[in-house]
Amino acid sequence: MNAPEPLSTADSVAPALTRSIHLLYVPTLNCNLSCSYCYLGTQTSEADLRADAGRAVATLRHALAALESAGVLAFNVSLHGGEVTTLPPPVLDELFALIRGHYLRHFDVLTALGHRKSAPHIKTNLFRFAPLYELFDRHKVSISASIDLPLALHARHRLTRKGEPWLERTLDNLRLLARYPHAKKISATLSAEHLTDIPALIDDIWFIHRELGVDMNQMNLMFAFPSALNRERMGEAVLTPCTPAQQLELYDALHAAFAGTELEEGLRRHWFDEFKPSYCTNAVNCGEKFYLLQSDGEVYSCVRGQGLPEFRYGNVYADPVVDILVAGAQKVAAVHAAHGFDAGCRQCSHLPLCNTGCPVVKRQNASGRSYTCDLQQAIYRDNPKTFPAEAPDEVAAYARDYMQRMHPALAIAETPALQSEAVLALPHELGDESNTLRALIAADPLLQALYRDDAFVLEVGDELVPLASQLLKRRNDWYTLTGDDRLVVHVRQELFDANCSEPVRNTLYLQMLRDTPVVYGDERRSKQEHLFTWQLHTRCLEASERMGEGWLMADLAGLVALHRRLYRHGVRNNLFFTTGYLRDYHYQKQKANAFYHIQAVNLPFQNFEFFYLNRE
């Protein structure tokens, strides 16, 4: 067996991982079945399995390394087909080991981000489950098994490549799955035909749960949608998608059948997950977070967009990662824009949760509204605490923001302020992923130094407080200081080398502001009032015993107390920390890069906010 892949030496110099993404890996498009509703069309029979087997591991390894070099962490690497299990077992063994190794290498970051994954996940039709059981078990692979419900349709639509049914084998495999000791779930894709006999569908859920022993609380339902590739392959035999009324009929029937039973938790928590805000379909722009990689290096949005030019983002062997990520965000935005901002969505009290739905299905349905809108509304209605309705003014504000981001042309056309003489002229590239503050920082080592959140630590009394840039941190803590409090700043010595060839000339640079607005400058902006600026040359700092080697320190208690007459009762003071040369670099960067300037128009440095209790 392949053990998880070890840490490579490159990790010690890897850049900070500033962005995390969901990566679906399709090592082969080949499939051993020929399901009638397959959205991949003829790709599953035309795929070259031998070529895929030869490159499957290398491509994933290459992509993970390229992502990491660009500061991007794949927090979820799931395997999807075609049918992954058509690959030879040694290739699967290597893939599983690679993914487990990836999770272990990034264990700390993943845990900090709230992800608990440590085992590979695979979507499979179970056709080869029995011969691969031991391999899956060894790698603790989590399994999502696709079946048709009712099972009679499994026999009709889920046929082998020779066109033969294989339901009995599926039932045996489900019995085996019931005994499988690791994570597992069932997923079922439903078309209108699947819903012609809902009682049979309900009976089969119970049959699999009670007779075959698979815990059907762990099930996901999906709806088939019109796929151009499927239509090309199936012609008239293509299955009809469920109508919104049929989706609701199913929802109501399942609630009537399973409420109050041992499957109620699954019904309420998992079965309709795909239509809830945790899923990609509810992202504002899924092209910023979700990617599908094929073994030939091609990158698409996801399984739904696979093979469609509008959802092809690039190739990991030919294109820089940053270009692929930017293409994803732009292409998804373009599809949303092409289908307009639906009038119902604009006023929907759940717009902030839904974000108008999946762009691939919008394209397939030529509609601007989520294809499961009615179903989603029923889910929101039944879970008002989990999915609260927003007030109309909140919705209007959100709709304005959403429109500016996803429908910028519409926003300009519809916003009176933009049509009047007082035009706000923002360059359209401002919305590009590569121009976000985080992307600009990721691309510039000096900005990385300037924005570090591990370079300044403030000792306040007995507490050590790491300082972060006021522009990047997600929360603000306000302290109360008195003249008796210990207040020492510890700073990493290497920070004085950033943008400075002679650190002896560099300074620790502090600025104290007070939250009393003053109008400054040509733009007449109201800003916090500057109280004082203070610099201490590098050589005047002391070695920091508390933080150890590589750290310097300066005692600030006297400096802060000296200005006590400037601090007002109940008014916050805002103390910023940087070095003289990094401060210079911030202003140089502002001049050189308009996108940086506009986003860092407020002081970007690490800061500490406090009230001062003047006992005099």
The residues of the shown chain that bind ligand SF4, judged by CB under 6 A, are 280-281, 286, 290, 301-302, 304-305, 342, 344-345, 348, 350-351, 354, 356-360, 369-370, 373, 376-377
CA dihedral of 78, 82, 86, 92, whole degrees rounded to 10: -20
Q: How many CA atoms lie within 13 Å of 430's alpha carbon, on the beta-carbon side?
A: 14
CB of 121 to ligand SF4, least distance (A): 16
In the complex with ligand SF4, the residue whose CB is nearer, 233 or 369, is 369
In the complex with ligand SF4, the residue whose CB is nearer, 365 or 535, is 365
Cα angle at 446 between 443 and 451, to 5 degrees? 90
* Strand order from edge to edge, sheet including 507-520: 478-482, 606-613, 573-579, 507-520, 525-537
Question: What are the residues facing 173 on neighbouring strands?
Answer: none
Q: What gap in Å lies between CA 461 and CA 446, rounded to an integer?
A: 32
CB of 476 to ligand SF4, least distance (A): 32
Classify residue 356 as left (phi > 0), alpha (psi -120 to 50) or beta. Answer: left
In the complex with ligand SF4, the residue whose CB is nearer, 291 or 567, is 291
For the chain, the C-alpha Rg in angstroms (whole number) is 28
In the complex with ligand SF4, the residue whose CB is nearer, 106 or 339, is 339
In the complex with ligand SF4, the residue whose CB is nearer, 225 or 612, is 225
CB of 32 to ligand SF4, least distance (A): 24
In the complex with ligand SF4, the residue whose CB is nearer, 233 or 350, is 350
CB of 185 to ligand SF4, least distance (A): 18
CB of 227 to ligand SF4, least distance (A): 12
Helix (H) or strand (E) holding 312: strand 312-315
Taking a C-beta distance cutoff of 8 angstroms, is the pair 292, 306 a contact? yes
In the complex with ligand SF4, the residue whose CB is nearer, 209 or 363, is 363
CB of 280 to ligand SF4, least distance (A): 3
DSSP result, 174-204: HHHHHH--S-EEEEEEE-TGGGTTHHHHHHH
Cα angle at 147 between 248 and 82, to 5 degrees? 110
In the complex with ligand SF4, the residue whose CB is nearer, 188 or 373, is 373
Question: What are the residues facing 610 on neighbouring strands?
Answer: 479, 573
CB of 419 to ligand SF4, least distance (A): 26
CB of 307 to ligand SF4, least distance (A): 13
CB of 26 to ligand SF4, least distance (A): 13
Strands 219-223 and 184-190: parallel
Give the distance between the most distant pair of CA atoms in the chain: 91
In the complex with ligand SF4, the residue whose CB is nearer, 356 or 607, is 356
Q: What gap in Å lies between CA 183 and CA 81, rounded to an integer?
A: 19
In the complex with ligand SF4, the residue whose CB is nearer, 286 or 488, is 286
Q: What gap in Å lies between CA 336 and CA 49, rounded to an integer?
A: 35
Strands 525-537 and 507-520: antiparallel
Helix (H) or strand (E) holding 512: strand 507-520
Taking a C-beta distance cutoff of 8 angstroms, is the pair 119, 182 a contact? yes
Taking a C-beta distance cutoff of 8 angstroms, is the pair 30, 43 a contact? no
CB of 409 to ligand SF4, least distance (A): 20
Whole-number Cα distances in Å, 160 to 81, 190, 238, 352: 15, 19, 17, 43
CB of 561 to ligand SF4, least distance (A): 55
CB of 488 to ligand SF4, least distance (A): 49
In the complex with ligand SF4, the residue whose CB is nearer, 357 or 503, is 357
In the complex with ligand SF4, the residue whose CB is nearer, 96 or 341, is 341
- 282 C-beta neighbours (distance < 10 Å), count: 21
